[in-house]
């Protein structure tokens, strides 16, 4: 059983609405519904009466709500105790970040951060955008490192999750040099991210810019791994929009070339304000100072 299923169920017991609870939990309604059904299957009973609106609890659901509330309370209390102990004995900070940022931006930036804050340990989890949002809002991580653009919504309440702009990158369309010139008239084969991914949303914006090439979808990476897409482009499969920091070396050595205007992106650090004690405050201040020269929003 996944612990988040208990929190999902308690949210639904409170709101009596799948759509509202899915929104509060930061997932799609279909994903939320699957998680509730998985909990019911694990328990071997129906917890909800779905024949009426708003949704109501079955008698088993009423009983299980008490168990779930107590389990979540005890586990969260123990987790807080353990993490407070860790922080008080040297300090640990935790990041959840987009995959490509853990390869390009985070290593050097984290070294500068540690030099500014002093001794600490760090924990980093690379994830896709939706999972990053979920990890931050559910309280398991201190910080979230992501790309950002004004036309792409980041569903985080500024009051609870302020951010700093800590760097800059751009989304750049690249292909292997020597690609057939008929692609200019017939369309370039495009390597596409999965529909719901952050970089797919960014690539759609880039395609609307003046000077963007005519394309058709030749390959879709359902995992939306930018590193895998880069390898496909180097092998000559087509054009792909990638963070420039990820392909700088390939562009400089001529393994890839830019075929369209770049799309500027911010690199943002989001903070879970509820986890503001001890070392996280010092890290936030150091990140602000390292980000001097970039726009800051809190």
- Point out which residues pair with 77 in neighbouring strands: none
**What's the pLDDT score for residue 23?**
86
Q: Which residues neighbour 120 within 8 Å (Cβ) at sequence distance 6 or greater?
A: 90, 91, 92, 93, 114, 279, 283
User: Is residue 236 a contact partner of residue 101, using CB atoms and an 8 Å limit?
Assistant: no
* 226-234 vs 244-252: helix crossing angle, rounded to 10: 20
Q: What distance lies between CA 37 and its chain's CA centroid? A: 25
User: Is residue 132 a contact partner of residue 157, using CB atoms and an 8 Å limit?
Assistant: no
Q: Quick one: three-class SS letters along the chain?
A: CCHHHHHHHHHHHHHCCHHHHHHHHCCCHHHHHHHHHHHHHHHCCCCEECCCCCCEECHHHHHHHHHHHHHHHHHHHHHHHHHHHHHHCCCEEEEEEEHHHHHCCHHHHHHHHHHHHCCCEEEEEEECHHHHHHHHHCCCCCEEEEEECCCCCCCCCCCCCCEEEEEEEEEEEEECCCCCCCHHHHCEEEEEECCCCHHHHHHHHHHCCCCCCCEEEEEEECCCCHHHHHHHHHCCCCEEEEEHHHHHHHHHCCCCEECCCCEEEEEEEEECHHHCCCHHHHHHHHHHHHCECECEEC
ω into 181 cis (within 30 of 0)? no
- φ, ψ for residue 259, nearest 5 deg: -120, 5
Q: What separation, in Å, do the N-terminal and C-terminal C-alpha atoms of the chain show?
A: 37
Q: What tens-digit pLDDT sequence spans the chain (298 residues)?
A: 788 899 999 999 999 999 889 888 888 888 899 999 999 999 999 999 887 788 899 999 999 999 999 998 888 888 777 766 655 555 688 999 999 999 999 999 999 998 998 778 889 999 989 889 988 988 778 999 999 999 999 999 888 899 999 999 999 999 999 988 888 788 999 999 988 789 999 999 999 999 898 999 999 988 778 999 999 999 999 999 999 999 999 999 999 999 999 999 999 999 988 876 678 888 999 999 987 655 444 4
């Amino acid at each position: 059983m996944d612990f988040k299923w208990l929190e999902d169920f308690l949210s639904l017991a409170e709101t009596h609405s799948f759509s509202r609870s899915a929104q509060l939990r930061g997932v799609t309604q279909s994903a939320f519904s699957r998680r509730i059904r998985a909990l019911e299957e694990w328990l071997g009973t129906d917890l909800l009466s779905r024949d009426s609106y708003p949704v109501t609890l079955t008698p088993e659901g009423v009983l299980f709500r008490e168990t779930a509330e107590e389990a979540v309370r005890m586990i969260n209390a123990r987790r807080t105790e353990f993490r407070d102990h860790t922080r008080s004995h040297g300090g640990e900070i935790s990041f959840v970040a987009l995959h490509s940022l853990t390869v390009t931006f985070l290593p050097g930036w984290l070294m500068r951060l540690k030099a500014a804050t002093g001794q600490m340990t760090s924990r980093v989890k690379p994830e896709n955008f939706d999972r990053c949002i979920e990890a931050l809002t559910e309280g398991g991580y201190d910080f979230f490192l992501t790309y950002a653009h004004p036309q792409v919504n980041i569903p985080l309440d500024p009051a609870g999750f302020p951010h700093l702009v800590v760097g800059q990158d751009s989304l750049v369309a690249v292909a292997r040099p020597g690609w057939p010139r008929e692609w200019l008239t017939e369309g370039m084969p495009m390597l596409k991210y999965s529909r719901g991914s952050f970089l797919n949303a960014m690539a759609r914006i880039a395609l609307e810019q003046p000077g963007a090439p005519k394309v058709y979808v030749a390959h879709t990476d359902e995992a939306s791994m930018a590193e895998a897409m880069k390898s496909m482009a180097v092998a000559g499969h087509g054009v792909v929009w990638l963070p420039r920091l990820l392909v700088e070396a390939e562009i400089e050595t001529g393994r890839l070339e830019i075929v369209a205007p770049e799309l500027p992106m911010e690199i943002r650090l989001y903070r879970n304000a509820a986890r503001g004690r001890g070392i996280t405050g010092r890290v936030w201040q150091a990140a602000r100072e390292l980000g001097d020269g970039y726009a800051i929003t809190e």
